[in-house]
Amino acid sequence: MNKKNILCIGAGYVGGPTMAVIAKKCPDYRVTVVDINPERISAWNSSRLPIYEPGLDEIVAETRGKNLFFSTDIEGAIRDNDIIFVSVNTPTKAFGIGAGMAADLRYWEKTARQILENARSPKIVIEKSTLPVKTALAMERILASAEGGVEFEVLSNPEFLAEGSAIRDLEYPDRVLIGSRDTDRGRRARDTLVEIYSRWVPREKIITTNIWSSELSKLVANAFLAQRVSSINAVSALCEKTEADVTEVARAVGLDSRIGGRFLNASVGFGGSCFKKDILNLVYLCRFYGLDEVADYWERVVKINVYQQERFIEKMLSAMFNTLAGKRICLFGFAFKADTGDTRESPAIYIAKRLLEEQAEVVVTDPRALENARADLAGVGGSVQFVEDPYEAAVGAHAVCVMTEWDLYRRLDYGRIWEEMVKPAFLFDGRNILDHRRCFEMGFNVYAIGKPPLTHF
């Protein structure tokens, strides 16, 4: 007999890894993950999981079929489980009021209604998706319309994992946040969830708050993280004008313990499915509440990110004699960060599209993200090739651009790459991961982010 039956609706980047870790840490619980997408579920049940995350394959192999199950039977699973995580996608709304800013809650609401229709016993419903503050109220109202008198308690338990380090983040979280109603039932539901996490998370790291603080904290955490990247990227533009070096500035600034050194790597821009969407959601909320100055403040974080990507293209154009037409440009990496195959909102998409507009011939290489890259650039037009081997991809190229900080790219033989490129050969390091002086000495003209260029002209 399983001590608890846990369900997660939504088998994506969050639902899959989170439930796999719960199953591993709580072998006496039965964990089920359901999704409307049958292909995703069959991939979770196969030897080729739908997402790449270091350490995930091992955990799924250990737990799947024992106490971790993937299924498309959403209705049956709702009936059989009394603790239900909702981890469906909440993208930016693309139509109507709030288009381009607000969260599109259609998947989320559909789930709420499905829970309502199929529940026959009391349920704890846990918002795992990132949602606008006050969404739990809407969830409560939908669930409260139940006719059969079934009791529902809604909790907020936002997820803070980052892709590429999801398993480590889940096993050793900085904190787990649980928001609940301050009622007897709310506190009881909260304690049930605390009990699950305390199987492996030290109790002092499990923090409980009111439900609105919990919802809002998730948006604010992502806004602060993205703000740091935009802050250092803004500084990188000034460094390029003044011969300061952004890596040295970041180190000097980050050694102040009040500031801290993490998340200060200047780059071609931040990507990922959440930073932009969550900040725009925050901006929309602020405008909704009439806080235009606050909205403008956060909106700049996204604007600087677009500026940073465009600056990268402008730098390439001016370095390569103001024309990219017909030139072969090789992108090293397409994933939005290292150790993931995810390309959602990757700066590489923007750069590739802008290069194609300039009529460059684009070659994309990436150890994990080529399939997604193909889908992202399908129908864009122009000359695009996808090549697995980075050495082969760079043959005949006028320029190599590092788009993703894969460790693999640090270790390549750049002398060999230079030999096979068209001269003068250009290297644009959008992640500041290469040994720029060495590459320059090999013959490259090197342009990094926020550093003086190293050129042979």
Do the beta carbons of residue 130 and residue 90 sit within 8 Å?
yes
| Maximum CA extent, the chain | 78
The least CB distance from residue 179 to ligand UGA, in Å, is: 16
Under the criterion CB under 6 A, does residue 345 sit at the interface with ligand NAD? Answer: no
The least CB distance from residue 263 to ligand UGA, in Å, is: 4
List the x/- string, 16-35, binding to ligand NAD by CB under 6 A.
------------------xx
Indicate the residue among 171 and 419 with the shorter CB distance to ligand UGA. Answer: 171
Under the criterion CB under 6 A, does residue 226 sit at the interface with ligand NAD? Answer: no
Among residues 8, 26, 239, 274, the one annotated as catalytic is 274
Pick out residues in 157-216 that bind ligand NAD (CB under 6 A). 159, 161, 163
Do the beta carbons of residue 137 and residue 179 sit within 8 Å?
no
Task: Tell me how crowded residue 404 is: count the other CB atoms within 10 A of its CB.
Answer: 31
Among 27, 57, 107, 424, binds ligand NAD (CB under 6 A): 107
Structure tokens given for 257: 């313990």
Among 21, 22, 32, 40, binds ligand NAD (CB under 6 A): 40
The least CB distance from residue 406 to ligand UGA, in Å, is: 11
Q: Cα 371 from chain centroid?
A: 17
User: Which residue has tokens 């096993």?
Assistant: 171
Q: Which does 337 bind (CB under 5 to 8 A by kind): ligand NAD, ligand UGA, none?
A: ligand UGA
Under the criterion CB under 6 A, does residue 116 sit at the interface with ligand NAD? Answer: no
Q: Which does 271 bind (CB under 5 to 8 A by kind): ligand NAD, ligand UGA, none?
A: ligand UGA
Check if 439 is active-site. no
The least CB distance from residue 15 to ligand NAD, in Å, is: 6
Q: Judging by DSSP bridges, how do beta strands 426-429 and 445-448 pair with one another?
A: parallel
Indicate the residue among 67 and 92 with the shorter CB distance to ligand UGA. Answer: 92
User: Which residue has tokens 């050694």?
Assistant: 255
345: alpha, beta or left? (left if phi > 0; alpha if psi -120 to 50): left
The least CB distance from residue 334 to ligand NAD, in Å, is: 17
The least CB distance from residue 91 to ligand NAD, in Å, is: 8
Among 111, 135, 308, 346, binds ligand NAD (CB under 6 A): 111
Do the beta carbons of residue 21 and residue 46 sit within 8 Å?
no
Pick out residues in 250-309 that bind ligand NAD (CB under 6 A). 273-274
Among 32, 92, 129, 309, binds ligand NAD (CB under 6 A): 129
Among 6, 7, 14, 266, binds ligand NAD (CB under 6 A): 14
Q: Which does 294 bind (CB under 5 to 8 A by kind): ligand UGA, ligand NAD, none?
A: none
Q: Which does 265 bind (CB under 5 to 8 A by kind): ligand UGA, ligand NAD, none?
A: ligand UGA
Strand stretches in 263-368, DSSP E: 328-332, 361-365
Q: Containing H/E element for 357? A: helix 347-357
Indicate the residue among 29 and 428 with the shorter CB distance to ligand UGA. Answer: 428
Residue ranges binding ligand UGA (CB under 6 A): 130, 159-163, 222, 225, 229, 263-265, 267, 270-272, 274-275, 336-337
Q: How far is the C-alpha of 267 from the C-alpha of 428, rounded, in Å?
A: 11
Single-letter amino acid, residue 5: N
The least CB distance from residue 438 to ligand NAD, in Å, is: 34
**Phi and psi, residue 429, nearest 5°:** -100, 95
Do the beta carbons of residue 222 and residue 301 sit within 8 Å?
no
Do the beta carbons of residue 152 and residue 140 sit within 8 Å?
yes
Strand order in the sheet with 361-365: 384-386, 361-365, 328-332, 399-402, 426-429, 445-448
Residue partners of 309: CB distance under 8 A and separation at least 6: 268, 269, 347, 350, 351, 354
Q: How far is the C-alpha of 80 from the C-alpha of 52, rounded, in Å?
A: 30
Do the beta carbons of residue 127 and residue 135 sit within 8 Å?
yes
Which residues are known to be catalytic? 274
The residues of the shown chain that bind ligand NAD, judged by CB under 6 A, are: 9-15, 34-37, 40, 74, 87-90, 107, 110-111, 129-130, 159, 161, 163, 273-274
